[in-house]
Amino acid sequence: MTEAQAAEQLPVLFLTEPVVLPGMVVPIELDEAARAAVDAARSSTDDRLLVAPRLEDRYAAYGVVAEIVQVGRTAAGQAAAVLKAGQRVRIGTGVTGPGAALWVETEHVEEGTEDAAVADLASEYRSLVIGDLQRRDAWQVIDNVNRVTDPSALADLSGWASWLTDVQKRQVLETPEVAERLRVLIGWLKDHIAEAEVAEKIADDVREGMDKTQREFLLRQQLAAIRKELGEDEPDGADSYRTKVDEADLPEQVREAALREVDKLERSSEQNPESGYIRTWLDTVLEIPWGTRTEDSNDVSAARAVLDADHHGLEDVKDRIVEYLAVRARRAERGLQVVGGRGSGAVMVLAGPPGVGKTSLGESVARSLGRRFVRVALGGVRDEAEIRGHRRTYVGALPGRIVRAINEAGSMNPVVLLDEVDKLGADFRGDPAAALLEVLDPAQNHTFRDHYLDLDLDLSDVLFLATANVVEQIPQALLDRMELVTLDGYTADDKAAIARDFLWPRQLERAALDADEVTLTDEALAKIVADYTREPGVRQLERLLAKIQRKVATQLAGARATQAVVVDEAALRDYLGRPRFTPESDERTAVPGVATGLAVTGFGGDVLFVEATPTDGEPGITLTGQLGDVMKESARIALSYVRSHAEALGVDQAFLERHVHIHVPAGAIPKDGPSAGVTMVTALVSAATGRNVRSEVGMTGEVTLNGRVLPIGGVKQKLLAAQRAGLTTVFVPHRNEPDLDDVPAEVLEAIDVRPMTDVAEIVAQALEPAAQGASAAA
């Protein structure tokens, strides 16, 4: 090493940026210090000076010897110079020199020997640099890199790398050994390439997403334009649903669930089928009147007046509704009225034959309470999802009928009429009656959960009214959750009053007639009730009244009547034809072996004739008339009782040795139940003794083998049927005597009701005396 190489004095130019490495050509703007250094170099060192980085905490240890290529001005008029960096040197101590510049002593540094390890490092670094440049499509720079063969110069090309920080470049400047410099650069470059690849992948994903978003946006704009041309409304977006949820009066739990679905809608695209399901669900939730409740009328007397004005009779139902309203009024007065409280609702089932006003009573109840009314028809429903709703995973899923009823009512406390609850079916899709257990339980329905909504719905303030024709067909678990109110039908006087006050005026309006144009006499109305209809309700009666008015309207239209038409008893044949129903007990019991019983069907109470006659053949019994198992057992019990008490009953032993045939008309109608037991005993004794059964007598009751008369159901309906059939004496079980309190007074006045405990007493009082029976038979 020569002495010139060992120590050289040069003016110093400190630069904050850029960091200059050997081989770089850089322009710099000349401030006062830089101009002093440049001037000193041009005047004393053959245009050479030392360029070093400016550090905040210390003086730089290394720099580069640079040659001044050109001095001039920039386009903006600022003084500038172009420097070409040469070798790397170590900065020594400061010395004095000409001019205002700072002078230092420089020392040459050894960069290490060039061996195979250095060559391998240089090759690896070169391949990494070229790969990075290829990724950026910098092909011209690649050519320049390939022309550099010196490992040290190749490493110092990093001064041009934009991805290196100034701190990293100063570290490269201060690392004179080539191998170490290459190792550091290789590590940095690998990290940079890895970060660049990740950033590029993210950028590609973002660009692809942006392209897809822009494409969807363009298509959506085109779709909006098409919808606008077609006059169709554009579906609401997620922002619109979020606004609707925020503005809706929703319970906190429901609001949170709705906002979760809105978040899902925001993350899903329009093409995703899930977005359609979410929109439908949100629409359903927003349609439910969560915060809407009607104010109940607390005027008990006014409510009773409404019920009396809409329906005649039905005192039990009216009393129960008024009691319900009175309790609510008192709770409200004392501050105990808690909306959504456990068990605050009421559930009643109105059971009775068709046509007695069960369905229309629901509307009157709603009107008396000041509530909205909605009817849910359950007849023939066999799918459990009809009550609880379908799971949202199913295509075309909908909420159940209960939720839809709440939506239709528009309030959370309507009167909901579950019509024909006894007609529910069950199959492989589930049991709808079981799904109603939670709905109709006042202790549970404050947290009713519909499968579609999957949210708790408070039904505790809903007044549920269910209707049924046959109580026995309602599942016991469901019936246990409801309060049973029985509507057993109307008496003849009730029917006449209903016809006069309700049916006749309604049919006048439908026929476009005035009250002064047609008049129906009381006698004619009574005959219609007695001879033209035989039903517990009034539907057929209303049809007959409508038929009369249609014929009157026809007469008036044809100018055949010039004055008001009066429909009296004599004119009924012209309007309605001959009477359809006449008392037949006299005719049916005119021969021995026929007794008149009483039964309850789905259409109310009815008379039931039991016929018994001995025939040739082996001792035994034949039963006909579509009898059920229970009724067949009653017939066998009756025959066994007659055989075991033949002597006391006056039955000849020869009768017991013959075959007995028992028939219960009408044969096309299925019949079952134990209440015909006493009737069968009476018919058998009548056939055996030849004594007729009194035509005005009817009877009902279950009989045991020792002749005890057991209680039965439907006493009120059976007595109403007896009155319609013209019977005047009815035998009932003694243990049913408390049921007579529910029978209308006019029925008890018209019928001699005799509670009995022994079937032998019934037989003795029901049969005609032996002499009369014999003469009748003769």
Rg, C-alpha atoms of the chain? 53
- Phi then psi for residue 333, to 5 deg, are -65, -35
> What Cα–Cα distance (Å) separates residue 706 from each residue in 275, 645, 710, 760?
74, 9, 11, 10
> How wide is the angle at C-alpha 166 spanned by C-alphas 191 and 142, nearest 5°?
60
Instruction: In whole angstroms, give the CA distance from residue 598 to residue 614.
Output: 24
Respond yes or no on whether the N-terminal peptide bond of residue 235 is cis (omega within 30° of 0).
no
Q: Is 689 annotated as a binding residue?
A: no
Residues in contact with 672: Cβ distance below 8 Å, sequence separation at least 6, in sequence order: 627, 628, 629, 630, 631
- Beta pairing partners, 177: none
If one counts every other C-beta atom within 10 angstroms of the C-beta of residue 673, the result is 21
- Collapsed DSSP state (helix, strand, coil) of residue 15: strand
One-letter amino acid for residue 49 of the chain:
L
Annotation marks residue 495 as catalytic: no
Instruction: Using alpha carbons, select from 671, 585, 689 the residue that is nearest to residue 635.
Output: 671
Choose the catalytic residue: 44, 675, 686, 695: 675
Q: Is 159 annotated as a binding residue?
A: no
Annotation marks residue 718 as catalytic: yes
- Phi then psi for residue 430, to 5 deg, are 115, 180
User: Is the separation of the CB atoms in 394 and 346 below 8 Å?
Assistant: no
Instruction: In whole angstroms, give the CA distance from residue 597 to residue 559.
Output: 51
- Phi then psi for residue 234, to 5 deg, are -80, 140
Q: Beta 709-710 vs 702-703: how paired, if at all?
A: antiparallel
Q: Is 355 annotated as a binding residue?
A: yes
Instruction: In whole angstroms, give the CA distance from residue 191 to residue 185.
Output: 10
Choose the catalytic residue: 169, 318, 716, 718: 718
- Collapsed DSSP state (helix, strand, coil) of residue 465: strand
Instruction: In whole angstroms, give the CA distance from residue 554 to residue 563.
Output: 14
Instruction: Using alpha carbons, select from 58, 112, 56, 117 the residue that is nearest to residue 88.
Output: 112
Instruction: In whole angstroms, give the CA distance from residue 418 to residue 477.
Output: 17
User: Is the separation of the CB atoms in 750 and 730 below 8 Å?
Assistant: no
Residue 711 has, within 13 A of its CA and on its CB side, a CA count of 10
Q: Is 352 annotated as a binding residue?
A: yes
For residue 430, what is the DSSP state?
Answer: B
User: Is the separation of the CB atoms in 88 and 109 below 8 Å?
Assistant: yes
User: Is the separation of the CB atoms in 616 and 606 below 8 Å?
Assistant: no
If one counts every other C-beta atom within 10 angstroms of the C-beta of residue 222, the result is 10
Instruction: In whole angstroms, give the CA distance from residue 270 to residue 547.
Output: 60
One-letter amino acid for residue 87 of the chain:
Q
Q: Is 356 annotated as a binding residue?
A: yes
Q: Beta 102-108 vs 373-377: how paired, if at all?
A: unpaired
For residue 502, what is the DSSP state?
Answer: I
Instruction: Using alpha carbons, select from 374, 328, 353 the residue that is nearest to residue 470.
Output: 353
- Phi then psi for residue 64, to 5 deg, are -125, 145
Q: Is 716 annotated as a binding residue?
A: no
Instruction: In whole angstroms, give the CA distance from residue 223 to residue 214.
Output: 14
Instruction: In whole angstroms, give the CA distance from residue 4 to residue 46.
Output: 14
First and final CA of the chain: distance in angstroms?
166
- Collapsed DSSP state (helix, strand, coil) of residue 487: coil
If one counts every other C-beta atom within 10 angstroms of the C-beta of residue 252, the result is 7
Instruction: Using alpha carbons, select from 112, 89, 114 the residue that is nearest to residue 173.
Output: 89
Instruction: In whole angstroms, give the CA distance from residue 683 to residue 766.
Output: 10
Instruction: Using alpha carbons, select from 734, 672, 675, 677 the residue that is nearest to residue 705.
Output: 677
* Class of residue 248 by CB neighbours under 10 A (exposed 0-12, middle 13-18, buried 19+): middle
Residues marked active site are found at 675, 718
> Which residue ranges make up the annotated binding site?
352-359
List, as residue ranges, the binding site for ATP.
352-359
